[in-house]
Amino acid sequence: MGRKKPLRDGRPPAKHKESRFKKTCKSLETFTSEVHEALDASIQEDGKAEGSEAKVKFPCPLAMWDLGHCDPKRCTGRKLVRKDLVRTLRINQRFNGLVLSPMGTLYVSPADKQIVADSGVAVIDCSWAKLDDTPFAKMRGGHPRLLPYLIAANPVNYGRPCKLSCVEAFAATFCIVGFPELATILLRKFKWGKVFLELNKGLLEKYSKCQDVEEVKKIESDFLAGAHDEETEDFDPFDVESGREFSNPNRVIASKGMTCEDDDGTEEDEEDDDDDDSNDATDKQENRSEEESEEEAAAASKPVVWKGVKKKLRD
Ligand SMILES: C[S@@+](CC[C@H](N)C(=O)[O-])C[C@H]1O[C@@H](n2cnc3c(N)ncnc32)[C@H](O)[C@@H]1O
């Protein structure tokens, strides 16, 4: 009694079917506390011996379609897959969260916060040099997005606008929607990761304070119209209060000494900088002296750049 009859074709009745697909949306409050727990676990991982590390439970799904264009040892997306932070999707498999794509037209904005918390973020791991051969139409999702103007800090495309690696694209999205801690968890897997935040600090902060896409567009167009020059002029490299402890005034954006000839992760100098699961592999991306590299490596091992995030955790 009271049981609904199956449909004529044997399928369960509609109510049952609906409940199978019912999605549980987390409140942003719950999500935010999971974000903090994840960052805490990620920081604690550092002190533990290799192999004994507790797995960081990332609070939302991260996924990637792997087109197999890049050298798996050098690709940032593949590295996140090896770290169990990102899962791979089959071509034609749909993803319900934000899909970051060079073919997107709508910008990521803080208005995407709930979508990210509920359904996560996906990237398309293809080569920048092979966009024409990439079947973007087969990698579908409800929310395709483009990132607003930001500068890459990865060794392959260092200094280039918009051509971000997978990890940078994930991180930028988390910063813009208001979960910078999640950006930190991902970027700290890469020695150069904090440089991405340094290079883009001002813009990321401004984008994250926007209400919607229109405001993000306005920030970007104002920046491109000259705000960048002003900011550069105002920056005093000797101002210890500037908050830019890690910026290297000798490191000119897109300088000749940098190895950014190749876009697709195949150049010799590119590296999977910590394939051995540590955070301190040799940085070969530039023609810098050993001393400089050592100084930078020493600086990199101090968690100063994450200070703000840690403070937030403590508060
Ligand atoms: C083209 S692949 C290159 C991957 C690179 N080989 C690596 O090691 O990570 C980078 C992916 O990140 C995302 N992405 C990067 N920059 C982006 C942008 N400006 N807007 C939207 N998505 C972007 C896209 O999913 C893009 O396909």
CA of 315 to the centre of ligand 1 (A): 34
Given the structure tokens 């040099």, which residue do they identify?
129
pLDDT in the model for residue 54? 58
Given the structure tokens 């990865």, which residue do they identify?
154
State the burial class of residue 53 (Cβ atoms within 10 Å of its Cβ: 0-12, 13-18, 19+): middle
Rounded alpha-carbon distances, angstroms, from residue 193 to 67, 80, 85, 279: 23, 13, 16, 10
Cβ–ligand 1 contact at 165 (below 6 Å): yes
Cβ–ligand 1 contact at 164 (below 6 Å): yes
Mean pLDDT by 10 residues, the chain (315 residues): 49 46 74 93 77 76 95 92 96 97 97 97 96 95 97 96 97 98 97 97 98 98 80 57 45 32 41 43 35 37 39 40
pLDDT in the model for residue 23? 60
- What is d(CA 244, CA 199) in angstroms, rounded to the nearest whole number? 9
Rounded alpha-carbon distances, angstroms, from residue 110 to 65, 139, 177, 180: 24, 24, 4, 12
- Taking the mean position of all CA atoms in its chain, how far away is CA 13? 42
Task: Give the contacts of 251 (CB within 8 A, at least 6 positions apart).
Answer: 286
pLDDT in the model for residue 239? 59
- What is d(CA 269, CA 271) in angstroms, rounded to the nearest whole number? 6
Q: Is position 176 annotated in a ligand binding site?
A: no
* One-character DSSP codes across 168-219: HHHHHHHHHHT-HHHHHHHHTTSTTHHHHHHHHHHHHHHHHT-SSHHHHHHH
pLDDT in the model for residue 255? 33
- What is d(CA 232, CA 198) in angstroms, rounded to the nearest whole number? 13
CA of 75 to the centre of ligand 1 (A): 11
Cβ–ligand 1 contact at 128 (below 6 Å): yes
pLDDT in the model for residue 49? 61
Cβ–ligand 1 contact at 70 (below 6 Å): yes
Cβ–ligand 1 contact at 125 (below 6 Å): yes
Which pLDDT tens digit goes with each residue over 147-166? 999 999 999 999 999 999 99
Within a 10 A sphere around the Cβ of 252, how many other Cβ atoms?
11
ipTM: 0.99
Q: Is position 147 annotated in a ligand binding site?
A: yes
Query: Dihedrals φ, ψ of 95, to 5°?
Result: -125, 130
pLDDT in the model for residue 70? 86
pTM (2 decimals)?
0.73
CA of 123 to the centre of ligand 1 (A): 7
Cβ–ligand 1 contact at 72 (below 6 Å): no
- What is d(CA 144, CA 99) in angstroms, rounded to the nearest whole number? 5
